[in-house]
Amino acid sequence: MLLARKVALVTGASRGIGKAIALGMAREGADVVVNYCRSEEKANEVACTIEALGRRTLVVKADVSKQDQVEAMHRQVVKQFEGVDVLVNNAGEHHHLKCWEIDESEWRHVLGVNLGGVFLCSEAFSHEMKAKKWGRIINISSIVGFTGTDHEVHYGASKAGVVGLTESLALELARYNITANSIAPGEIETDMTASETVEERKKALELIPLGRIGQPEDVANVAVFLASDRASFITGQTIHVNGGEAMF
Q: How many CB atoms lie within 10 A of CB 40?
A: 12
Whether 155 sits among the annotated catalytic residues: the reply is yes
Task: Give the residues across from 181 on adjacent strands.
Answer: 138
The active-site residue out of 155, 165, 183, 220 is 155
Which H or E element spans position 23? helix 16-27
Q: Which stretches does DSSP call E strand in 154-248?
A: 178-185, 238-241
Q: What is the chain's length?
A: 248
Q: How far apart are CA 89 and CA 137, in angstroms?
A: 8
Cα 76 to chain centroid distance, Å, stands at 20
Kindly report the backbone phi and psi dihedral angles of residue 36, in degrees, each rounded to the nearest multiple of 5, phi listed first: -150, 165
Strands 86-89 and 238-241: unpaired
Q: How far apart are CA 36 and CA 92, in angstroms?
A: 11
Catalytic center residues? 155
